[in-house]
Structure 1
Amino acid sequence: MAEPVWNKFLTARDKQVFEVAGYGKRQGFGKRPAVLVVDVNYDFCGDRPEPILESIKRWRNSCGEEAWEGIRAIKKLLVAARTQELPILYTTSARRADNWDTGSWSWKNARTAERVIAKTTQLPGSTIVPDIAPAPRDIVITKQKPSAFYGTPLQSYLVLLGCDSIILTGTTTSGCVRATVLDAFSSNYRVSLVEEGCFDRSEASHAINLCDMHAKYADVIKLDEALRFIGTLEKGMFALPLGAT
């Protein structure tokens, strides 16, 4: 079994502390999961796979090639979830053209005002990458802050659907994914974080945040485990509108 991606960043003392303090216990899956895809749009992926230092010249938030590796994993997860008719929710950003609603984002990034259009599709950066585009019955939530819960109807949808857990993917691991995991944990949802479907601009931030979330707030799992679990669920547990065909 491969060692966790974060192990190379931990000291021997770190590993001992987690073990002795009891952190990292497996919480397990829930019984009625929703799949949540956080911010996998052009802004965070670019419009094509390319090295991050090239991609961020145009797309300041791009995670480069790692984003497209994550997209491939998310696509497999979505196929399984749709087969079992699980609820699938996406988040993406919503910003005014005049930047009036930028708020605190502008305090920490000098390029906040930039807007980029994807050359391949002529669509704005907030567009969810077409490789994993929402289906008619999926739910798309727009947000302005890191957490998918903050100022959005996400909690309302989860309550309506009777969800007790979330299978989560997206970006960035250290930012919006982490913020969403913490709010989900605070609302008593079990969270399974699919490692291959999460990505970040920083390798160290990605690994250490996975470590911290796995220790305290979520189960970091492999894609194969998520797929096996979804395959055990009864098809059609959720009464969702069918949408257009």
Structure 2
Amino acid sequence: MSLASTPKDLERKGFAGRFGFGQKSALVVVDFTNAFTDPGHRLGSDSAVEIAATNELIAIFRAKGLPVLFTAIEYESDVAAASSHWRTKIDAISDLYRGSSGTIQDARLDREEGDPIVNKEFASAFFRTTLEALLLERSVDTVVVAGCSTSGCVRATAVDACQLGFRVIVCRDAVADRNRNAHDQALVDIDLKYGDVLGRNEIAERLHTN
């Protein structure tokens, strides 16, 4: 059996090219809702550090007049949530229905009234949602992703953004996961194949030059 390639091996083979920033960026904050940011919830983990980093990004984007959008997993009713195909894998999905506290954006986020919230029923923020249309309406070609979970909804969103032709940037300081090993591996995987993984200071510097 051959040994698995390391990230450096794959870079030598042509992986980990750079998207860089295009003409206009938007920040998409994925699922920093109460169910995912409350360590006491079945879906949750402590995301305080990552929420603080996300707020720094939000401030940077607002100062430049760039769009900030949020997402939430939310089914139209408790019956719809309970009958979701995804619940077969994650029982706590049944908690995420319209009117439940778990679907509300974490109060620590610096969200403003006019910031869109894109509701979704699965991992990717693009799957059967209005997100692509909202970004294209705003002439966005670069999607900067924050939120959770890194190995789940963040990764799925990055993959779909890439597939739809957006430049993809994931902020390593502003994404969280309940599983540290999965978090670390997801960032490696995204950086090799689907987007550029950068720190918030790097993102701020790159936005400044555009």
TM-score (norm 1): 0.78
Aligned to 2:50: 70
* Seq. identity, %: 28
2:43 matches 1:61: yes
Aligned to 2:16: 24
SS in 2 for 1:192: strand
Q: Deviations over 1:122-141 (max 9, x none)?
A: x7111111121421331111
Q: After superposition, where does 1:1-245 map in structure 2 within 5 Å?
A: 13-46=5-38, 55=39, 58-64=40-46, 67-101=47-81, 102-114=83-95, 124-233=101-210
CA distance in 1, matches of 2:114, 2:95: 32
Gaps of 5+ in 1: 1-10, 47-54, 117-122, 234-245
Q: Deviations over 1:104-149 (max 9, x none)?
A: 1211124443479xxxxxx711111112142133111111111111
Q: Deviations over 1:42-76 (max 9, x none)?
A: 11101xxxxxxxx2xx3011122xx1110010000
CA contact (8 A) 1:134 1:140 kept: no
CA distance in 2, matches of 1:38, 1:91: 5
Q: Which amino acid aligns with 1:29?
A: F
Q: Which amino acid aligns with 2:63?
A: T
Shift of 1:41: 0.9
CA RMSD of aligned residues (A): 2.0
CA contact (8 A) 2:95 2:102 kept: no
TM-score (norm 2): 0.90
Shift of 1:232: 3.5
CA distance in 2, matches of 1:172, 1:189: 20
CA distance in 2, matches of 1:32, 1:230: 9
Query: Larger radius of gyration, structure 1 or 2?
Result: 1
CA distance in 1, matches of 2:86, 2:4: 36
Shift of 1:208: 0.4
